[in-house]
Chain A
Amino acid sequence: MISTGKLSDLFVEVADTLVADFDVVDFLHNLTRHAAAVSGAGAVGLLLTDQRGNLEFMAASNATGELLELWQLQSEEGPCLDCFRTREPVINADLTNAESRWPVFAPKAVAAGYQSVHAFPMRLRDEVIGALNLFGSSDTLFEPEDVRVVQALADVATIAILQERSLARAELLTEQLQGALNSRVVIEQAKGAVATIAGVSVDEAFELLRKQARSTHQRLVDVAHSVLSGSNAEYKIGV
């Protein structure tokens, strides 16, 4: 099930990223894309806690992944929410047979073309700070060793958010988590600004922002901030 070739690519990128001053939003976005490639899942999404008992959307491998997460948040049911509440993974759940468990969400996910789902908790000590969600076809089933690998990916996401090895202060989690959630919003605002500046769609604007971040070795969120503070005149984004 797990593609070992793709897995080694992933670990090289993770190692490269985690040692540098990296962008957590961009990193989690890439992580969901890698998780999809490695596991064969068609869509992967990631939700984070707002520390007030709710989950918020953070990253997805594609637009469908985002939609599947938003549907769960909207209907207040689904594998990610179960995983967050119970602190246990949801593995190999059959969406075509889950109407009693998720009456609103399951039919929508099936209609979107998915039959199986898995959700892995992002654990930190005795807390769960979010969940990683993978959607696939009827044959995207995980063996125990696959489960360990995907759980490791969820753990990498947790480490990325903390960005520091020292977990001595509980306050650090709040600072990093709230900062990450807000960074995502900054990037959405910048997508709109760049779309208007360059006359492109918001999706194209996102690619332009990422390209800009890569070519100038800046964090995505820093590029987004400079676009929004109007100090990006020299960037000529979009051409």
Chain B
Amino acid sequence: MCRAAVDGLGLSGAVVSLMVASESGSVGSEAIAASWGVGAEAVEELQFSLGEGPSRDAFILSRPVLEPDLEKSIGRWPGYAPAALGAGIGSVFAFPLLVGAMRLGVLSLYDAVARTLSEGELADSLALNEFATRYVLDHPLGGEGGEGGDASVLDELEFRDEIYQAQGMVMVALNVSLAEALARMRAHAFVTEQNLTALAADIIYGRAWLLAATEDE
């Protein structure tokens, strides 16, 4: 996917980092899951060691952080920007992998020169952002998460308000993370051959309860 991003958008690098939020909502831990392009991984790692940069900001702010010209962002990232410029990076576009408050990581796109994304390139980047989010949801690290990797369930990830609300309910009821709550809902929907929106409505109106945590442990 990173390679497709680099080739398709004419960039120099792309990196998917997985991140876990700390208690304060900042970045607790982070790891690179995939990358493509010369030096892309090293530039991403700069942020890990310096503790600042666009990927971290995108994760913390829960929105894209787009810097078409790193020269102009030295004030914002006094450590990172000069180091990235020194490593031959001119622009960075960081898109968080998230669904509401469920934050999974960041897709960072790099180019060697200062440049903006055209309307079409932006649409493609947002599509890649969504694809990466779904991919990470389906392939959680450490084996955590549900069995709902089936394509039909994936198509069903047309997120709707009922699903978000039910996700919050399951999170509290089972005392798990939002990501885990969604994984349990998808697994339940898959096993009971029901669609996720219908299951979510059942949860909201008290017609369905997911089994307590012992089920998968």
Q: CB within 8 Å of B: which residues of A? A: 50-53, 169-171, 174-176, 178-179, 182-183, 185-186, 188-197, 202, 224-225, 228-229, 231
Bound together, the chains give a CA A4 to CA B167 distance in angstroms of 43
Residue of A nearest to B123 (CB): A52
Instruction: Given A202-B204, A229-B25, decide whether A182 and B63 contact each other with a Cβ distance below 8 A.
Output: yes
Bound together, the chains give a CA A51 to CA B61 distance in angstroms of 19
Bound together, the chains give a CA A229 to CA B127 distance in angstroms of 27
Question: Does A229 lie within 8 Å of B21, measured CB to CB?
Answer: yes
Instruction: Given A51-B126, A52-B126, A179-B61, decide whether A189 and B23 contact each other with a Cβ distance below 8 A.
Output: no
A189, A193, A225 interface centre (most CB from chain B within 10 Å): A189
Instruction: Given A52-B126, A196-B168, A228-B171, decide whether A185 and B100 contact each other with a Cβ distance below 8 A.
Output: yes
Instruction: Given A174-B122, A188-B165, decide whether A225 and B25 contact each other with a Cβ distance below 8 A.
Output: yes
Q: CB within 8 Å of A: which residues of B? A: 21, 23, 25, 61-68, 98-102, 116-117, 119, 122-123, 126-127, 159, 161, 164-173, 178, 204
Name 11 interchain pairs, CB-CB below 8 A, sorted by A. A51-B119, A51-B122, A51-B123, A51-B126, A52-B127, A178-B64, A189-B102, A190-B101, A191-B165, A192-B172, A196-B169
- Report, nearest first, the 7 A-B pairs whose CB atoms are least far apart: A192-B168, A179-B63, A185-B100, A192-B165, A188-B164, A171-B66, A193-B168
Residue of A nearest to B98 (CB): A182
Question: Does A188 lie within 8 Å of B161, measured CB to CB?
Answer: yes
- Would you give the shortest CB distance from B110 to chain A, in whole angstroms? 15
Give every chain B residue within 8 A of A195 (Cβ-Cβ).
Answer: 165, 168-169, 204
- Would you give the shortest CB distance from A229 to chain B, in whole angstroms? 6
Question: Does B116 lie within 8 Å of A189, measured CB to CB?
Answer: no
Question: Does A192 lie within 8 Å of B123, measured CB to CB?
Answer: no
Bound together, the chains give a CA A74 to CA B116 distance in angstroms of 33
Residue of A nearest to B58 (CB): A175
Bound together, the chains give a CA A148 to CA B110 distance in angstroms of 44
Give every chain B residue within 8 A of A193 (Cβ-Cβ).
Answer: 168-169, 171-172
Give every chain A residue within 8 A of B23 (Cβ-Cβ).
Answer: 229, 231
Question: Does A188 lie within 8 Å of B168, measured CB to CB?
Answer: yes
Bound together, the chains give a CA A224 to CA B170 distance in angstroms of 16
Bound together, the chains give a CA A175 to CA B61 distance in angstroms of 10
B65, B67, B99, B172 interface centre (most CB from chain A within 10 Å): B172
- Starting from the known contacts A182-B63, A197-B172, 16 additional A-B residue pairs (CB-CB under 8 Å) come to A52-B126, A174-B122, A175-B64, A178-B64, A179-B62, A179-B63, A182-B100, A186-B100, A189-B164, A189-B168, A193-B168, A193-B169, A196-B168, A196-B169, A228-B100, A229-B23
